[in-house]
């Protein structure tokens, strides 16, 4: 019975995300998406976990979305300025960073956030070590690179995912 509740909850959440994202009023669209959400939820039923929500986690999630948005804008401006300069000032390289996150979902969100931010790209993951391609390596040391790339994302994700 518990899996059925998780499947139904997951289907509702996926459908709500679609509804909020597209603001569709077409009942046919919503029914098709609900059907697809149900299909995806059934396929991934063994991986569904009930979130333990708290006001603190919800607040951190909201702040994280805003923080990520601001970081993406700042990185876009940085990369755009590099492109329009006559001599592109880059110092590319792959740096090794450590993450404190233990949750697979937290790590997934961290690596996705790093990759979404222009100028950085998650290349590989090996346990708690991430290899990041950085357009302008400012610190080759693991601790310095971790501080500059990972730590600000982690302070939110650690509260949300543990």
SS3 at position 49: coil
pLDDT, position 110: 92
Tens of pLDDT, residues 112-146? 999 998 888 999 999 889 999 988 888 888 888 88
pLDDT, position 138: 83
Q: With a cut of 70, which residues of the chain have pLDDT below it? A: 1, 48-51
Indicate the pTM of the whole model: 0.70
pLDDT, position 46: 77
pLDDT, position 111: 92
Helix (H) or strand (E) run with residue 143 in it: helix 142-145
Alpha helices, DSSP H, located in 23-133: 27-43, 55-84, 104-116
pLDDT, position 123: 92
How do the domains of the chain map onto residue ranges? 2-47, 55-161
pLDDT, position 162: 72
């Amino acid at each position: 019975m518990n899996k059925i509740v998780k499947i139904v909850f997951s289907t509702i959440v996926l459908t709500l995300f679609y509804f909020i994202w597209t603001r569709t009023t077409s009942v046919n669209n919503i029914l098709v998406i609900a059907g697809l959400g149900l299909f995806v939820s059934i396929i991934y039923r063994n991986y569904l976990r009930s979130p333990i929500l708290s006001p603190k986690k919800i607040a951190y999630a909201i702040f994280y979305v805003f923080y990520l948005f601001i970081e993406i804008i700042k990185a876009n401006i940085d990369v755009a300025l590099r492109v329009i300069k006559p001599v592109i000032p880059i110092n590319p390289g792959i740096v090794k960073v450590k993450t404190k996150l233990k949750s697979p979902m937290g790590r997934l969100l961290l690596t996705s956030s790093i990759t979404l931010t222009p100028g950085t790209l998650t290349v590989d993951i090996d346990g708690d070590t991430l290899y990041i391609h950085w357009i302008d390596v400012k610190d080759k040391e693991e601790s310095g690179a971790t501080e500059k790339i990972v730590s600000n994302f982690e302070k939110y994700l650690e509260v949300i995912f543990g």
